[in-house]
């Protein structure tokens, strides 16, 4: 963790508020956490300037016809997990990469046009692929809960009510049709990918439109389920020291029930249904190692229809939401990723 910012109780509350609404003005954050506005603005901006915290706009690739998501589990030759993870993080098609402990060594999320592309990427495009012993790929077919929807639990329901934006689609989403984004909308989304807290005036200046047009376009993208805002930070910053991924094999008749129940757990940051041997994938976080036994027995043990539950602990995450993460938990200011630049929409139409 970076030495430039020592998180206080106020800092944790500010981060928890930004997790609820990454674009909330400091005045709104101060009201929600019942703190002085100038102090909140100063500390919040310090956290952002230190790159321990950031907000990024993320396009929903399924909704926008940009591709499909696959979770890939990899086993590596001894001593090579870190180098494999770095190679994966450097690929433009990976959105998330982490080194884990347990039955596998590395997990990566790919966003590709078609599931057949995974074989090409792993077999032809990955440097040092000889260090990969085994891979297992699973297509994400439904999200029960996304990172953007997670409530840290540090703030009460009053704060959540004050901060959560209204009219934003939440819960598991099944879009029947894809949205065809305009070049202007792609440009706005690219600007917000770099800085999710950019003002409408800043967006307007970057894209070359009026401020009112920028506001309308952003609101439209959000309302249509195309654009969401994710607050990026490492969980230990708010006192949650154990990040894990849980892989479930669930009886098909109980899959919906288990997915919904897990989505409601305070420890769940993300859970989705997938194809393959494991049909549920979960990202979770706990305060400490002492909580693991209770989680495995009281939470997982109470789920109906679970055949297997494989837990892997995250040792180091190298990429989140397309953005590279440094070893000290800061976002890499020199990240170069085509998803953070203005795309040609003709390349993304389906």
Q: What is the pLDDT of residues 266-285, one digit of tens each?
A: 999 999 999 999 999 999 99
Helix (H, G, I), strand (E, B) or coil at 35: coil
pLDDT, tens digit (0-9, with 9 covering 90-100), for 81-129: 999 999 999 999 999 999 999 999 999 999 999 888 888 888 888 877 8
Q: pLDDT category, 8, cuts 50, 70, 90?
A: confident
d(CA 107, CA 314): 9
At 348 the pLDDT is 36
What's the CA angle centered on 236, arms 235 and 238, to 5 degrees?
Answer: 75
Give the burial string for 189-222 (b: 16+ CB within 10 Å, else e).
bbbbbebbbbebeebbebbebeeebbbebbeebb
State the burial class of residue 6 (Cβ atoms within 10 Å of its Cβ: 0-12, 13-18, 19+). Answer: exposed
> What is the residue-averaged pLDDT of the chain?
90
Higher pLDDT, 336 or 142: 142
Q: With residue 188 as reference, give the H or E element that holds it.
A: helix 183-194
Higher pLDDT, 339 or 264: 264
State the burial class of residue 130 (Cβ atoms within 10 Å of its Cβ: 0-12, 13-18, 19+). Answer: exposed
pLDDT, tens digit (0-9, with 9 covering 90-100), for 176-189: 678 889 999 999 99
At 109 the pLDDT is 97
- Percent of the chain at pLDDT > 70 equals 90
At 135 the pLDDT is 93
Lowest mean pLDDT among 53-67, 234-248, 271-285: 53-67
337 pLDDT higher than 50: no
């Amino acid at each position: 963790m970076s030495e430039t910012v020592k998180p206080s109780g106020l800092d944790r509350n500010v981060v928890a508020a930004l997790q609820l609404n990454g674009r909330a003005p400091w005045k709104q954050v101060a009201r929600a956490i019942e703190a002085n506005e100038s102090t909140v603005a100063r500390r919040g901006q310090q956290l952002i300037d230190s790159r321990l915290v950031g907000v990024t706009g993320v396009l929903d690739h399924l909704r926008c016809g940009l591709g499909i998501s696959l979770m890939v589990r990899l086993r590596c030759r001894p001593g090579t997990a870190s180098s494999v993870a770095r190679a994966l993080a450097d690929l433009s098609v990976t959105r998330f990469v982490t080194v884990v402990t347990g039955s596998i060594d590395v997990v990566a999320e790919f966003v590709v046009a078609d599931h057949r592309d995974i074989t090409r990427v792993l077999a032809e495009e990955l440097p040092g692929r000889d260090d990969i012993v085994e891979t297992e790929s699973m297509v994400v077919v439904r999200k029960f809960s996304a990172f953007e929807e997670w409530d840290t639990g540090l703030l009460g329901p009053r704060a959540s009510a004050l901060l959560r934006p209204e009219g934003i689609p939440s819960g598991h989403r099944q879009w029947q049709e894809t949205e065809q984004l305009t070049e202007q909308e792609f440009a706005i989304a690219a600007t917000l990918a770099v800085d999710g807290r950019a003002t409408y005036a800043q967006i307007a200046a970057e894209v070359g439109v009026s401020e009112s047009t920028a506001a309308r376009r952003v609101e439209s993208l959000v309302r249509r389920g195309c654009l969401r805002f994710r607050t990026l930070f490492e969980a230990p910053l708010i006192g949650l020291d154990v990040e894990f991924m849980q892989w479930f094999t669930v009886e098909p008749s109980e899959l919906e029930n288990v997915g919904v129940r897990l989505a409601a757990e305070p420890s769940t940051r993300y859970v989705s249904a997938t194809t393959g041997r494991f049909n549920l994938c979960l990202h979770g976080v706990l305060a400490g190692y002492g909580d693991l036994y209770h989680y495995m027995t009281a939470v997982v043990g109470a789920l109906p229809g679970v055949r297997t539950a494989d837990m892997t602990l995250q040792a180091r995450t190298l990429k989140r939401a397309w953005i590279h993460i440094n070893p000290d938990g800061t976002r890499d200011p020199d990240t170069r990723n085509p998803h953070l630049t203005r795309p040609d929409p003709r390349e993304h139409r389906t």
